[in-house]
Structure 1
Amino acid sequence: MLRPRIPTMPTPTGIVAPIVHSAPIEQQHQAAACACQHPAPVRAMPAVRLSPAGLLAVVGGGAAVVLVVGAVLVSLLLAVAVTAASVAVCAVVLRSMVNNPRHR
């Protein structure tokens, strides 16, 4: 009951999946240093070099994006607050309209 069973296909497809055997990993030994002189490895330069004006432009652009996103979020919050206030006013008006006929 708890042993897995391999399903058998009634019609074979002809596609045979190869069985993958894991080979043992061989450790590679480091080669000894040679006596010849190789040139020193060249250090990679950074991909982007910004001038001071370019850096100011990037900082200014980032600040502008932050300000625009902040303004959009504040306006959405204000819209939600105005909607909640108008719904509250409508609820008070409806309650007074329902309760007033009894008192007249």
Structure 2
Amino acid sequence: MLLRPQLPETPTPTPPATTTQHTHAPACSCQHSHMPTAPARRSLPSPSTRAVGLVLVGGVVLTALLTAVAVSAISVAVAAVVLRSLLSAQNRRR
């Protein structure tokens, strides 16, 4: 029992309190049924076409910049390897 953790007992949840139905006297004498009203839904603001276009253009520009940096880094690395190879070959000839 040293290696078996003991979990604490969780308290049992209490049932929710019962709600009482209130009956109201009808405001008119007509015989229509009472329709429950649905809660009002808040719609999300729709993004404008200009905002979507700006986000897409910004993404393309940032991707192009990242690609340019990656290509530059690779070309610098290749140039460094070539220079290192040339310098080590020159030092061996002496």
Q: TM-score range by the shorter chain?
A: 0.5 to 0.7
For 1:58 and 1:29, the matched residues in 2 are separated by: 48
Tell me the amino acid that sits aligned with residue 43 of structure 2. M
Q: 1:33-72 alignment to 2 at 5 Å? A: 38-46=36-44, 49-72=46-69
Identity %: 17
Say if 1:54 and 1:83 are closer, same or farther in 2 by CA, change over 3 A.
same
Structure 1 runs, 4 residues or longer, greater than 2 Å off: 27-32, 34-39, 41-47
Q: What is the number of equivalent residue pairs in this alignment?
A: 76
Name stretches of at least 5 consecutive residues in structure 1 with no aligned partner.
4-20, 98-104
What residue is the counterpart of 2:27 in the other structure? none
| TM-score computed with the length of structure 1 as normaliser | 0.56
1:43 alignment partner, SS class: coil
Tell me the amino acid that sits aligned with residue 15 of structure 2. Q
| TM-score computed with the length of structure 2 as normaliser | 0.61
For 2:84 and 2:66, the matched residues in 1 are separated by: 27
For 2:52 and 2:76, the matched residues in 1 are separated by: 36
Q: CA deviation at 1:74?
A: 1.1
Name stretches of at least 5 consecutive residues in structure 2 with no aligned partner.
3-7, 24-33
| Aligned partner (choices 58, 75, 95) of residue 92 of structure 2 | 95
What RMSD over aligned residues (CA atoms) do the two structures have, in Å?
3.1
For 2:61 and 2:17, the matched residues in 1 are separated by: 53
